[in-house]
Amino acid sequence: MSTPAIRVHNLGKQYRIGQHRRGYKTLRDKLAGLMPFGRAAGGKLEQDVSNEYFWAVKDVSFDLADGEVVGIIGRNGAGKSTLLKLLSRITSPTKGRIEICGRIGSLLEVGTGFHPELTGRENIFMSGAILGMSRAEIARKLDAIIEFAEVEKFVDTPVKHYSSGMYLRLAFAVAAHLEPEILIVDEVLAVGDAVFQKKCLGKMDEVSKQGRTVLFVSHNMVAVEKLCSRGILLDQGRLIFDGPAREAIEMYLTPSGDGRIQDLKGSRREGTGEVVISRYEIISSTGKLVRAGDPFTIRMYFEVRDRVSRPHFSLSIFSRGGPILFSIFTSDLAYDIPELSFDGYIDLEIHEPNLLAGSYPLHLGVSDEATNHWYDRVYEGAELEIEPSDVYGTGRQRAAAYSHLFYDCSWSLTVTESSGAATAVSCPVS
């Protein structure tokens, strides 16, 4: 069995919080402190120092094999960045052991390890030397690094004059191109633009296919799912899940302690009450969460307080603070219900939803089909949560910012030349 690239055993990092600095004391204060009466009526001569501690990382253990691409996820303050700093030897652990087999390239924040007074070219050579590479190795990779970072015009300018985007591009290019056996990348990709993020994800995928290990921290779950085969979920410094990336993402996005069946008590509603919609449930066909593009079922639980004939149920999906996006009645699909005498539930299966990630209010109802008289109509309380997904297959996270819907579509470009001839232009699909 081969040696793991990284082995972490019972790792912990403790910090003191609320520490008060001791004030400067004069010789008189020090002499007074030696006297029996020195801490009498006048009280303490110096501030107390807090002894409150917290564990940023506690009892974390895992092994990473060569070539694994692992996403480390968790909420803010879960301990992700602290864990990466421990693995990168930026800080030392309070307890536990880390075994690393190979050279590490780390990108934990913009321009980590760069000297602001040095030029971009000088920082490339300095970073390479820190990674343990020879000058000849760095020189061989220099052109590729500069081209990837897109800083050719400014490579001989001190990096203190770079924008944060230029800083980031160069820092990532150095970390990825100088061939570390282990590449550690924190949430710095959020600083870059969409084109650069795409390049970075492509480069990390290339690095992993070369048999090198990648640790990737991000709040972009689409990128984590696309890039990583394994996910490690941290919560309050502890490792609570280590397994397939999709399962880790579902556990991260699913609120703990929330039941799948949601009660509608207290919701704003109208109707005469012969039939009441008491609860609802969103059921994903692919897992615990509803991802953009995945089919799902909306289940409405009802209570029959008085027998009714020929009722029909309805469901509407609204945009947040905006217009209605979709509405359907049982009668629209010729689904006829002769009567209701007992409690139960009714399912609406949506096979090909075109909703992007977001939160959508639901209106639920049941009425008399003949007279359109409402037995119950629920206006508030029901929500449909759609989680991000790679709906267009590009590795990008598309949310409901400018639109709520997506469709199966494609672009094609045709240009008219000076001669009047129309020419189709082939554009790369990435």
For 338-392, write each residue's pLDDT tens digit.
999 999 999 999 998 889 888 899 999 999 988 889 999 999 889 998 888 877 7
Share of the chain above pLDDT 90, in %: 36
For the chain, give percent helix, strand, coil, nearest 5: 25, 35, 40
Query: Which one, of 210, 215, 226, 146, lies nearest residue 183 by Cα?
Result: 215
pLDDT at 255 over 50: yes
Distances from the Cα of 228 to the Cα of 74, 218, 322, 418, angstroms: 15, 11, 36, 48
What angle in degrees, to the nearest 10, is found between the helix axes of 164-177 and 194-209?
A: 10
Tell which of 209, 231, 253 closes a domain: 253
Q: What are phi and psi of 361, to 5 degrees?
A: -65, 145
Q: What's the pLDDT score for residue 41?
A: 44
Measure the CA–CA gap between 127 and 130, rounded to whole angstroms.
Answer: 5
Within a domain: residue 43?
Answer: no
Judging by DSSP bridges, how do beta strands 422-425 and 344-350 pair with one another?
unpaired
Residue 66 sits in the same domain as residue 174: yes
Q: Which residue has the tokens 């994903």?
A: 284
Residue 120 sits in the same domain as residue 268: no
Q: How many domains does the chain have?
A: 2
Residue 423 has, within 13 A of its CA and on its CB side, a CA count of 10
Q: What's the pLDDT score for residue 44?
A: 47
Measure the CA–CA gap between 222 and 422, rounded to whole angstroms.
Answer: 38
pLDDT at 36 over 70: no
Q: What's the pLDDT score for residue 48?
A: 47
Q: What is the DSSP string of 186-203?
A: -GGGGGS-HHHHHHHHHH
Within a domain: residue 107?
Answer: yes
What angle in degrees, to the nearest 10, is found between the helix axes of 135-149 and 164-177?
A: 140
Residue 202 sits in the same domain as residue 286: no
Residue 242 sits in the same domain as residue 270: no
Query: Which one, of 174, 111, 105, lies nearest residue 146 by Cα?
Result: 174
Measure the CA–CA gap between 348 and 351, rounded to whole angstroms.
Answer: 10
Within a domain: residue 333?
Answer: yes
Across 126-130, 204-208, 289-293, 309-313, least confident range? 204-208
Residue 221 sits in the same domain as residue 278: no
Measure the CA–CA gap between 13 and 55, rounded to whole angstroms.
Answer: 6
pLDDT at 8 over 70: yes
Tell which of 228, 253, 278 closes a domain: 253
Across 72-86, 108-122, 187-201, 294-308, least confident range? 187-201
Within a domain: residue 33?
Answer: no
Top-confidence range, 96-110, 219-233, 296-310, 390-404: 296-310
Residue 197 sits in the same domain as residue 335: no
Residue 58 sits in the same domain as residue 170: yes
Residue type (1 letter), 259: G
Residue scoring higher pLDDT (67 or 175): 67
Residue 96 sits in the same domain as residue 199: yes
Q: Find the domain containing 292 and state its range.
A: 261-386
Residue 409 has, within 13 A of its CA and on its CB side, a CA count of 6
Q: What's the pLDDT score for residue 237?
A: 92
Q: Which residue has the tokens 């010789």?
A: 27
Across 83-97, 117-131, 171-185, 412-426, least confident range? 412-426
Residue 283 sits in the same domain as residue 317: yes
Residue 201 sits in the same domain as residue 74: yes
Cβ count within 10 A of residue 23: 9
Q: What's the pLDDT score for residue 400?
A: 59
Q: What residues does 55 pair with on adjacent strands?
A: 14
Residue 371 has, within 13 A of its CA and on its CB side, a CA count of 6
Within a domain: residue 203?
Answer: yes
Within a domain: residue 339?
Answer: yes
Measure the CA–CA gap between 136 and 243, rounded to whole angstroms.
Answer: 40
Within a domain: residue 228?
Answer: yes
Structure confidence by residue, pLDDT tens digits, 38-89: 554 444 444 444 568 889 999 999 999 888 899 999 988 899 989 988 998 8
Residue 229 sits in the same domain as residue 302: no
Tokens for 64, please give them: 């990473």
Residue 79 sits in the same domain as residue 156: yes
- State whether residue 333 is helix, strand or coil: helix
CATH number at residue 327: 2.70.50.60
Across 2-11, 105-114, 381-390, least confident range? 105-114
Tell which of 192, 219, 253 closes a domain: 253
